Structure 1
């Protein structure tokens, strides 16, 4: 068997000599200890060095490992080309992008689809300042109920209009009571300048009741306590603190309670000069509105030398506020109790007969009672309707 194998290899070598001038590399004899005889072939082509053999790939090894009894291996009889005959493929030429053709043809196709870019409308230019108007609705208008709320023939009292819904008034409209959250009530008349005084007696607080009393303008929030915003100044019952813009500050030595009479002093020399302009009222879409021609609210002005002081049973507790904002100030009260508790109740005394009128105001000018404030109605001038440009004064 070894002679036949040697003969086969010799024939293969002789065939290779016809195509190569180099001597073939002799093959080692097969190993007799293996059933499958493994041979390693090293072919030396004419263009390769004998010191750098080129191994077969994995597929050739698999074929050589087949049965040794097979016929002459076709791999061994395949002619090999010299490496010099191999050449790398030429890469395809790079094409330049075609230029976009420009044409003046009038027959160029244009899409008729409506899904194109939406046309944007130019934003309207803002109106000039003289055409800008700020309007504010006036849901409650005093002139609607002037005959029943205030008139020249009536004395000053508590207003049915300038109060929260939960505030109840007595028949003479001098006592006010409320339950649950803080609610405010104001008097029918206010003052712009001068020195004025009135009293409030605390009739009932109950186990959970509280009160905040003081002065407020027509802009004060009726659904909040006195001193909640910048349009009111309050005096608190719990610790006697002063309250403005919802900020409490220590003021009196102690608070007040049921049976106490609180006096309220207001001094505003030349207050008319610093008062805001009266609002202009117009009819608009069936409703009354306040408007400003300059399109913005007027900033409040401080009244120099003005002050608010509180008295407890005729004793001055000191100056509570100085240099207050100008405006028309009304006597005001706000009450509070927990649910299911009796109403907190207070009673106003506008004078001239006071329970504890101070004999000494500590160098302050002696005030006049609020009962001397004349009827002024509401600082209004109603023009309308504005839709058609008509204008008329409503009395």
Structure 2
């Protein structure tokens, strides 16, 4: 079986990290030798599979700066990833047969010096995520965007995480019009979700709260987390005092003290709760463990998924598997995963729209339970880990046959 090495910028806690770890689990289950090379890995801030010995993890280039005086994050990320690629190609003891690279394509020219075949997994074009709110920012991003497009086309195979991302890929990388990326939904290994649920999540929920909404996402502004808080505030205004007092919101997500935006946005959200006078009705959790996430999804009544035009979104998949209804924005990946009126609700990304859907959850517990049952069946039918494993294994086998 071929050796597959995953080259990833930062093995922390996030959707991209979860996606590559699940890909590694899928390939490992088929007998492939799998390991990771990354520019950063903190055993205190990572998914369990990368610290419990399941996979070999090699860190290369963590001494390189993440930014220069609070600026040039993208350039530094490129340099760190290129350094990790140099280590992988020229200094690793056993060469790889397949290199699975994601997020940053700038390292692909270096990988061409290796006899290994290259697979690039595009979560979303980075150039569309970057801000260009000044003339200098536009000048700064221009060469970075060009490098991203040019190097993405150097991969032997390109995968994307949804049909939505595939369409954006074609619209964005116009010079790669002949390249047809294949869609591989990043489906989780649900075996961990089948473990017995303990009571570790109950301490997060005040005893007098009967209905709990949950948001799980990194503390980043692009995740639109304020929408959940604003919608919850509007919902509280609509409900009677008795029902409102028994309703709660939990904000949980990835948080890294090294990332300035994580720290700033967390404080912004706390101030928003204070402004809306809902501090006692909102619990903030940072960098929860897999077990805590599983328990929260089991005990909470509805997931609020707030990113707009999200390229895929693995958390709604996990929530539906745990029979937790989902309210999400009617754009991007959730259009392919959440069935409106059957497994939850799809709404415009406005507080009043989310609050209206949340009120339906509050007012009809029987329908909420039906949504949960529908969600589990939907995931088992459309997003099983076996189907995902077979598809990814087929991609690897076909890639190995390429001359």
TM-score by length of 2: 0.21
Higher relative contact order (CA 8 A, sep 6+): 1
Query: Higher helix share goes to which structure?
Result: 2
- The structure with the greater share of residues assigned to strand is 1
Larger Rg over CA atoms = 1
